[in-house]
Structures are given as C-alpha cells and as structure tokens.
C-alpha cells in the first residue's frame, strides 16, 4: 500500500511529537510508531526536566550551560549546549501553556528540585533546576503533546515498524514500514523523514529501558549512509533496582536520598565533597562499583543501599510515589522504613545519528547535510551531552531539538518537489522477510540476544580495558555470523513477534559492534567511558568526536569531527 505525506516522522516519543506539532497545519504529517503512541519510552521518564527558571532559588541559563559542558566532560558542542540552556525556560512555559500539570510551589509557581550535576554559580553548590510532575514527568508531557497532535490532525500509524529508508540519488524520499497486525508492507513517500526512534539500552543485559529501545532508527540510518557519532559513551544510571535494572529516579537523591555502603557510610562524601550524592551519573556509578570492589557492597554482594527513610512518608507518597511503588513491588522493601538495594543500570545513550542543531542528519566532519533526512531525540547526537548526560537534560534536549527539527523540515519541504520513488521500493525488504521466514538455520534469536547482552555487560559497561574490548569485538562478530543462521518459530503474518525480534536483534548487533569499536579506539577516560588502561582524560589527542560510517565490505569506518568550544575551556572536572 502506498501513502504520500510532506513529512513522515518515525517515533511518537516526545522528540517525534514535538516536531510534529511544530509543522504548520499546511503540511501533511504522518507519525509512525512500533508501539501504541503513548507507550513510547518518554512516558517512563520520572524525575524532571531542567530549566533555569529560578523559581525556588537564584539560577540562570549560563550556569545551566556551564554545568552541561562540565557534565559532558567538555566533549559536548558548546554552540548546541548554549541553545539548549537558553531555550529551556521558554520550553517549560510552552508546556505549561498547553496544559502540562507541573508540581507547584506554595505561591503557585512551577516547583523545582535538585538533580545530579546541576549547580549554582559555576559549581558552588547544588541548585533546584528540575521542573517535575511528581515522579511521572514524562508521562504527563507525553499525554499532553499527544492530545495536541490529535487536535492538529496529525495522522498516526501505530504499530507500524520502520524497515528501511528509501534513498534515491542521495536524497531520502520516504520509507518502508511493516504493519504489525497484518504483516503487510507500506511505502511512505515524503519530502522529509525525521527519525525520532529513541535509545537502545536493550543492547545491555541490565537496563532501565523499554523493550522497544532497540535502536532501529540508528541501525537503519547507518546502513543508509548516515554516520554514527560518539557511540562509545553509554550512560549507566547509578540507581537501578538490584538485579532488575528498573530505574529509581535521581529525583530520589534530589529530594535528599543518600547512598550508603555495608558500613552505613555515606560514601559519596569521600568522592565528591561539594555535591556528594548529587555528583553526575558517570561518577556516582563508578563510585558504587569502587565500593563494591573494595568489599563494601551490602552482604558482600554487588549492590549498595539507597536510603530514603529519613524523608518521611508524606514526601515519599506525594513526590516519589511511582518509584517507591516500584521498590515495594519489585524489590519487596518498604522505602519508608528500609533502604532500597541498587546497582548501576544501562540507562541512556549519548551517541547517536550525527545531526546538527536543526535536526539535519550530517554525513561528514564538515557538517554536510543528508538531503531529506532528519534526526532528533535520544537516537540523535547533536551533541549536547558529550561524554555524559546530566539528569533532566534529555527531556529538554528532545523538546528543544524536536521543535527545531520541525521548523527546519517545514522550511525544507517548501523548497523541494516530491522526488520520484525508485522502481519497486519494497523489493529488498520483502526479500529480507522471506529469507528470514524460510531460513532452515539452527540458531535461536533468544540465545544470540542473551549472549550479546552478556558480553556488552561484562566487557563494554562502566569500566573497560583493551583485552576485554577486543574479545567483545570478536564475540559480537561471531554472533553476527551465527545470526545469519537464525530460525523463526512463527511463520505467520499477524503480530509476528518472532520476526520483529529477529530484525531488532540484527540492528542491535550492528550497534553493539560500533559501541565496542568506539570504546576500543578511544584510548583515554572521559565521562561515561572509563578505560582502566588509560585512566586519564587526554585532551590533546581525544578532545574530538568519533564518527563511524558503514561499509559493507570493510566493517564500520572510523573518522573524527572537531568539538565546538565557545565559552568554557576544558578544565579538570571536580565536584
């Protein structure tokens, strides 16, 4: 079946929806999502969205910019970070005006709370900068933007899975999607395509991410010729529920929660004397693992305690209701009286499809645009988070740059004609599906996925070193070979999860390889990338973005892109 729109957006998380509502009513817009629109992972965001409103105490956007640059370990592009911090207050008031029910201060202003790495006066002390709706911030923003999108007449294609982009003479002119309910292929012809397909935490065994976070958009763009940037930077959030990885928001520490080791010691005081438990995530995750290595995990096991008992029942019930509920349900503890067992969990991907501040996908280190192809949200790397993202800066990033991508696509579609599609655009995808369905191989999807997740967890997580990374590359390449021989159990056309699992696994294997190659090539420690064999940051050699381009014959090809530094010169990062 064929459809025609001016713009097709893949992903109905906050990035996709914010772009969609920015496109004027005179543009026809389709939004595709492989899950029902409001089940996108953005709906799971808990703690808050950052903006220097100064509602609770003095704050300004330059402090926010500085914190983000420092948090990024100086790898973030400062022109983009300036836009992020400066546009943040407008973004929040816009959300307020369209109906997002933020928590309020007693005098009726939008309430704010502390979050990791956010400080007053260039690092002096923590500042209250995160706007929030209890610990359901993503949920309320997503539902509000979805209602707004319906009002605007944006057409949703829920449970449609992107399979490939249509590229004709170097320009993106549409895509092929698979309708999950029927197994039918659909061709979408458009002047512009925006990828807003979110993160890919499912590459790792322990993650806070949704099942749908498999990185399809990145892998598909990569194969179509778009480079992937800074993929070695993977954020482990310090407080996932022990063994499960389900997130306990940083808001818990923002409201006063404390991390303790087996001696009951508040160990973060030793590592970050100024901001303690509110140090940035890369640091806190490493500190937890250092404590565990030093034998200070609880009961000799690989977890520590998050203590909220001193915060009192009322605060927990009103401001942290969701996460205390998770602790009761999944960890079997009552946070009013007992600490929560926590360990680092794979949470957020700093790397992504290389894009500029207007959402244009770029193809080289000079910033040459890929005509017709855009990316925004967690799947993109603009790069505002550099080597480590600060808490509550992702919701901000996806709304600020989702809007800018919407504006730029609107300008672009008025300057170009619809491009003719190449003949039989569905052919390659149809053949791929037939080959998977008919494969007589012996390999199981579940086993290959579990082995990939394990090797990424063992060798490519918080601490890394050369031998482990080399073994991981070898293992992933072996898994890619085995993947050619997978066999599907389900050969049907209706909600064939087996087929989609197979396709997603193929994407994740590609991304696992690039993450690992990036980590192997970067011989320094910066932000979330901590090489035990290169423990120091090396600005002379590595103050640079890594970029990988796809090559079918030779595997991913590495090149570099300079970092944009404007106001803040790199300094040692102390908290």
Ligand X SMILES: Cc1cc2nc3c(=O)[nH]c(=O)nc-3n(C[C@H](O)[C@H](O)[C@H](O)COP(=O)(O)OP(=O)(O)OC[C@H]3O[C@@H](n4cnc5c(N)ncnc54)[C@H](O)[C@@H]3O)c2cc1C
Q: Which residues carry out catalysis?
A: 281
Interatomic CA distance for residues 356 and 396, integer angstroms: 16
> Which residue lies nearer to ligand X by CB, 409 or 520?
409
Q: CA–CA separation, 22 vs 17, rounded Å? A: 9
Q: C-beta of 232: minimal distance to ligand X in Å?
A: 18
Neighbour count for residue 143 (Cβ, 10 Å): 17
- Shortest separation between residue 385's beta carbon and ligand X, angstroms: 10
Rounded least distance, CB 377 to ligand X, Å: 2
Structure tokens at 350: 């700093």
CB of 217 or CB of 468, closer to ligand X:
217
Q: What is the DSSP letter of 328?
A: I
First to last CA, the chain: 56
CB 260 within 8 A of CB 304: yes
At its nearest, how many Å lie between ligand X and the CB of residue 48? 5
Residue 30 or 69: which CB sits closer to ligand X?
A: 30
Are 227 and 44 a contacting pair, CB within 8 Å? no
In which element (H, E) is residue 539 found? helix 539-542
Preceding amide of 390 cis, omega within 30? no
Query: CB-wise, 40 or 55, nearer to ligand X?
Result: 40
Cα–Cα distance for residue pair 542/545, rounded to 1 Å: 8
Q: Which two tokens stand for residue 414?
A: 């008025």
Contact present, 394 and 13 (Cβ < 8 Å): no
Assigned token pair, 182: 């029927």
Helix (H) or strand (E) holding 222, with range, is helix 216-223
Alpha carbons 349 and 297: distance in angstroms, whole number: 27
Q: Which is nearer to ligand X, 379 or 387 (CB)?
A: 379
Provide the β-strand partners of residue 312.
none
Reported as half-sphere exposure (CB side, CA atoms, 13 A), residue 134 has a value of 16
Indicate the pairing of strand 192-195 with strand 7-10: parallel
Q: Which helix (H) or strand (E) holds 50?
A: strand 49-50
Which residues of the shown chain bind ligand X in the complex (CB under 6 A)? 10-16, 32-35, 40-42, 44-49, 137-138, 161-162, 196-199, 208-209, 212-213, 216-217, 247, 249, 348, 377-379, 392-395, 398
DSSP 8-state code for residue 111: P
Nearer to ligand X, 212 or 462 (CB): 212
- CB nearer to ligand X: pick between 182 and 557: 182
The smaller minimum CB distance to ligand X, of residues 47 and 280, is found at 47
Enumerate residues 6+ apart whose C-beta is below 8 A from 478. Answer: none
- How far apart CA 527 and CA 534 sit, in angstroms, is 13
Dist CA 568 CA 541 (whole Å):
19
**Cβ distance 273 to 124 under 8 Å?**
no
């Amino acid at each position: 079946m064929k459809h025609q729109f001016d713009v097709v957006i893949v992903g109905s998380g906050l990035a996709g929806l914010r772009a969609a509502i920015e496109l004027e009513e005179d543009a026809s817009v389709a939004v595709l999502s492989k899950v029902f629109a409001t089940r996108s992972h953005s709906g799971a965001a808990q703690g808050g969205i950052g903006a220097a409103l100064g509602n609770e105490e003095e704050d300004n956007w330059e402090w926010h910019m500085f914190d983000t640059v420092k948090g990024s370990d100086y790898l973030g592009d400062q022109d983009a970070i300036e836009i992020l911090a400066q546009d943040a207050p407008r973004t929040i008031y816009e959300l307020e005006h369209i109906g997002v029910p933020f928590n309020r201060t007693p005098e009726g202003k939008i309430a704010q709370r502390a979050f990791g790495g956010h400080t007053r006066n260039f690092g002096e002390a923590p500042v209250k900068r995160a706007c929030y709706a209890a610990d359901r911030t993503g949920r309320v923003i997503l539902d509000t933007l979805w209602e707004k999108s319906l009002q605007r007449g944006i057409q949703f294609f829920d449970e449609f899975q992107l399979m490939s982009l249509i590229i004709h003479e170097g320009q993106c002119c549409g895509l092929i999607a698979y309708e999950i309910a029927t197994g039918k292929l659909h061709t979408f012809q458009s002047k512009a395509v925006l990828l807003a397909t979110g993160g890919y935490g499912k590459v790792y065994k322990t993650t806070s991410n949704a099942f749908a976070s498999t990185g399809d958009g990145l892998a598909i763009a990569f194969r179509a010729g778009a480079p992937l940037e800074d993929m070695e930077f993977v954020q482990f959030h310090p407080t996932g529920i022990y063994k499960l990885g389900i997130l306990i928001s940083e808001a818990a520490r923002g409201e006063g929660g404390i991390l303790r080791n087996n001696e009951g010691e508040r160990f973060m005081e030793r590592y970050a004397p100024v901001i303690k438990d509110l140090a940035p995530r890369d640091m806190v995750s490493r500190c937890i693992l250092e404590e565990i290595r030093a034998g200070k995990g609880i009961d000799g096991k690989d977890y520590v305690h998050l203590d909220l008992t001193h915060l009192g029942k009322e605060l927990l019930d009103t401001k942290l209701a969701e996460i205390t509920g998770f602790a009761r349900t999944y960890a079997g503890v009552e946070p009013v009286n007992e600490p929560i067992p926590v360990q680092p969990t794979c949470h957020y991907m700093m790397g992504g499809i290389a894009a500029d501040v207007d959402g244009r996908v770029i193809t080289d280190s000079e910033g040459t645009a890929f005509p017709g192809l855009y990316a925004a949200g967690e799947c993109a790397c603009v790069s505002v988070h550099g080597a480590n993202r600060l808490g509550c800066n992702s919701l901000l990033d996806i709304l600020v740059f989702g809007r800018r991508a919407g504006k730029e696509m609107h300008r672009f579609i008025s300057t170009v004609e619809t491009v003719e599609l190449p003949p039989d655009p569905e052919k390659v995808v149809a053949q791929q599906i037939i080959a998977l369905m008919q494969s007589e191989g012996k390999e199981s999807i579940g086993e290959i996925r579990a082995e990939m997740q394990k090797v990424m967890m063992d060798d490519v997580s918080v601490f890394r070193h050369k031998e482990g990374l080399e073994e991981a590359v070898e293992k992933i390449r072996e898994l890619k070979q085995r993947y050619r021989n997978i066999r599907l159990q389900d050969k049907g056309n209706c909600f064939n999860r087996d087929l989609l699992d197979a396709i997603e696994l193929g994407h994740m294997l590609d991304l696992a390889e690039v993450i690992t190659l990036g980590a192997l090539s970067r011989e320094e420690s910066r932000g979330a990338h901590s090489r035990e064999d290169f423990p120091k940051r090396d600005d002379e050699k590595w103050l640079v973005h890594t970029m990988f381009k796809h090559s079918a014959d030779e595997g991913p090809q590495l090149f570099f892109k300079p970092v944009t530094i404007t106001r803040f010169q790199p300094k040692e990062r102390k908290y």
